[in-house]
């Protein structure tokens, strides 16, 4: 009860801070100056609609029939501060895809083409077109809507952790929801919250399937994979590959194991076929050439850097993997990018490396012998292998892309570095037995 009162007091202060910041932005006309890049005629009205939209979502959260609603509301307030206050300064200084997502569906020549795997930008504009059928054409309201998508993803990750731990621990929700990179990038108007939502459903399905072997969890993880591939087609392979290990380790019975293996293999072939069609891959050489081209296309901007390896050579691509994985998961390091986002990311990554070091020191083999932990490790490594080729070329982009794997990586490190109960010594064991007698 005392905890709830403390959280409610914190929420009140957060809400007051947001209101004061919003009023100051309006009174100083900063909304207009900071929104100079937004393709909207009346920025003030657009912003007020966004505020109203945020309040409506907040009311819905407080009416949810769950004991977690106060904690969820806390994360929502933080996301609203990011979306309606902090993000204004980000939008004023960067050219963003979100401007196109907002304006394209408003054009009278726009044609809704449906959703297609791998067509991330097109799928977002089609989704926004559908949103315009039920909500005002407000840039800030759309930001708030996508922030809500990110909040749902964060909560689904939390429920996955609860299912794995087999107990409630609201600190896990706070750890995921308030982690700066997750908080910011899951609140933007763009592809990242949608991809994160897909991966969260996939994670929930994986944990549920391992724990109960119920068919419904396969449908949930399948939906999550499909949703993620609508944004990035290669995510299908990244998400399906670790399932092979889980099938071998956890499925009981020859027939169920064979059936699930066939299903996963078929899904992997479909995912690879979609990737081949998207990039025109016909053979091994085409794959390496496309990898090399796509990787080097990201070496632009202030955070861009060229790699010396030639990825058209398979041996050089394989030799690059350790550096690529490390870069995707733990860079930029402090001082590598000297802007606010780079500095914050550097601090985060240094902290993650500390957690990794602590986890390595205290982790025992029986911890790693758990199939779900092995799945998480394999998922992180496979994701890092795929995104390392892009992340090394542009450390700024690496910060945003890591959102896809960061909740799993964060929970994995926190779980492995947790405090264990000390094993009883022989002396305490004898004493306990004497007491029983």
Quick: pLDDT tens for 396-420. Answer: 788 889 999 999 999 999 999 876 6
Q: What is the pLDDT of residue 404?
A: 94
Flag whether 123 is in a domain.
Answer: yes
For a pLDDT cut of 90, what percent of the chain falls above it?
A: 46
pLDDT digits (tens, 9 = 90+) for 89-141: 988 888 889 999 999 999 888 888 888 888 889 999 999 999 999 999 999 99
Using the 3D structure, point to which of 156, 189, 222 is the last residue of a domain. Answer: 189
Domain membership of residue 275 (yes or no) is no
Termini Cα distance of the chain: 41
Please indicate, yes or no, whether residues 288 and 154 belong to a single structural domain of this protein.
Answer: no
C-beta of residue 289 within 8 angstroms of C-beta of residue 283: no
Domain count of the fold of the chain: 2
The answer to whether 85 touches 25, Cβ cutoff 8 Å, is yes
3 state DSSP class of 139: helix
Question: What would the two tokens of residue 263 be?
Answer: 């299903």
Domain endpoint, select from 189, 205, 224: 189
Say if 97 falls within a structural domain: yes
**377 assigned to some structural domain:** yes
List the domain range (segments joined by +) for residue 349. Answer: 280-418
Both 13 and 146 in one domain: the answer is: yes
Q: Is 316 found in the same domain as 171?
A: no
Structure confidence by residue, pLDDT tens digits, 267-316: 888 888 877 777 777 777 778 787 777 777 666 655 556 677 778 788 88
Closest CA to 231 of 312, 135, 341, 153: 153
| 208 part of a folded domain | no
Q: Which pLDDT score is estimated for 52? A: 93
How many C-beta neighbours within 10 Å does residue 151 have? 25
Give the residue, 412 or 426, on which the prediction is more confident: 412
Residue with tokens 């982009």: 397
The answer to whether the beta carbons of residues 152 and 198 sit under 8 Å apart is no
Q: Does one domain contain both 293 and 150?
A: no
Distance of CA 290 to the CA centre of its chain: 26
Give Cα separations from 403 to 217, 245, 355 (angstroms). Answer: 23, 24, 18
Alpha-carbon dihedral of residues 321, 327, 329, 332, nearest 10 degrees?
180
Which of 25-34, 80-89, 97-106 bottoms out in mean pLDDT, i.e. has the lowest?
A: 25-34
pLDDT for 379: 95
Q: Are 150 and 11 in a shared domain?
A: yes
Determine the average pLDDT of the residues in 71-82: 93
Averaged pLDDT, 9-31: 83
For 85-89, 97-101, 424-428, which range has the lowest pLDDT when averaged over its residues? Answer: 424-428
- Beta-carbon count within 10 A of 395 CB: 23
57, part of any domain: yes
Q: Are residues 158 and 26 part of one domain?
A: yes
Q: What kind and span of H or E run contains 45?
A: helix 43-62
Distance separating alpha carbons of residues 417 and 86, to the nearest angstrom: 32
Task: Give the integer Cα–Cα distance in Å for 17 and 22.
Answer: 9
d(CA 377, CA 399): 20
Q: Which of 189, 221, 254 is the last residue of a domain?
A: 189
Residues 33 and 182 in one domain: yes
Looking at per-residue pLDDT, the higher value among 28 and 227 belongs to 227
Question: What is the phi/psi pair of residue 394, to 5°?
Answer: -150, 100
**Distance, CA of 159 to CA of 336 (rounded, Å):** 35
Give the tens place of pLDDT for each residue, 179-216.
999 999 999 999 999 999 999 999 999 999 888 888 89
Average pLDDT score, the chain = 86
| Stated pTM of the model | 0.90
Read off φ and ψ for residue 380, nearest 5 degrees.
-60, -45
Look at residue 368 and tell me if it is in a domain.
yes
In this structure, the answer to whether residues 7 and 110 fall within a common structural domain is yes
Residue with tokens 């990554």: 349
Is residue 221 in some structural domain? no
Q: How many residues does the chain have?
A: 437
339: left (phi over 0), alpha (psi -120 to 50) or beta: beta
């Amino acid at each position: 009860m005392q905890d709830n009162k403390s959280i409610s007091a914190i929420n009140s202060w957060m809400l007051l801070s947001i209101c004061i910041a919003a009023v100051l932005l309006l009174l100083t006309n900063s909304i207009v100056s900071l929104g100079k890049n937004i393709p909207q005629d009346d920025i003030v009205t657009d912003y007020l609609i966004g505020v109203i939209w945020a309040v409506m979502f907040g009311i819905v959260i407080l009416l949810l029939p769950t004991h977690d609603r106060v904690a969820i509301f806390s994360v929502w307030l933080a996301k609203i501060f990011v979306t309606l206050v902090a993000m204004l300064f980000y939008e004023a200084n960067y050219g963003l895809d979100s401007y196109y997502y907002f304006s394209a569906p408003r054009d009278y020549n726009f044609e809704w083409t449906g959703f297609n795997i791998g067509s991330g930008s097109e799928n977002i504009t089609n989704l926004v077109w559908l949103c315009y059928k039920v909500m005002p054409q407000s840039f800030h309201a759309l930001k708030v809507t996508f922030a809500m998508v990110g909040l749902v993803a964060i909560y689904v990750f939390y429920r996955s952790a609860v299912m794995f731990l087999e107990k409630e621990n609201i600190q896990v929700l706070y750890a995921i929801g308030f982690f700066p990179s997750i908080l910011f990038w899951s609140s933007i108007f763009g592809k990242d919250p949608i991809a994160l939502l897909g991966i969260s459903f996939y994670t929930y399905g994986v944990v549920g399937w391992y724990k109960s072997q119920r068919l419904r969890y396969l449908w949930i993880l399948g939906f999550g994979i499909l949703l993620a591939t609508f944004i990035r087609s290669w995510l299908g392979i990244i998400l399906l590959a670790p399932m092979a290990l889980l099938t071998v380790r956890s499925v009981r019975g020859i027939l169920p194991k064979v059936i699930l293996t066939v299903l996963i293999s078929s899904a992997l072939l479909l995912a690879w076929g979609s990737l081949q069609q998207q990039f025109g891959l016909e053979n091994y050489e085409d794959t390496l050439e496309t990898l090399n081209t796509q990787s080097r296309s990201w070496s632009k901007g202030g955070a861009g850097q060229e790699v010396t390896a030639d990825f058209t050579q398979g041996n050089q691509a394989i030799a690059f993997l350790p550096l690529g994985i490390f870069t995707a998961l733990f860079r930029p390091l402090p001082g590598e990018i000297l802007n606010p986002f780079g500095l914050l990311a550097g601090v985060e990554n240094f902290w993650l490396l500390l957690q990794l070091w602590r986890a390595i020191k205290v982790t025992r083999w029986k911890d790693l012998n758990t199939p779900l932990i092995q799945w998480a490790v394999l998922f992180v490594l496979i994701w890092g292998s795929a995104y390392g080729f892009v992340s090394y070329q542009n450390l700024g982009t690496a910060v945003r892309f890591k959102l896809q794997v960061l909740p799993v990586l964060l929970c994995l490190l926190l779980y492995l570095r947790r405090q264990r109960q000390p094993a009883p010594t022989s002396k305490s064991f004898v004493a306990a037995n004497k007491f029983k007698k």
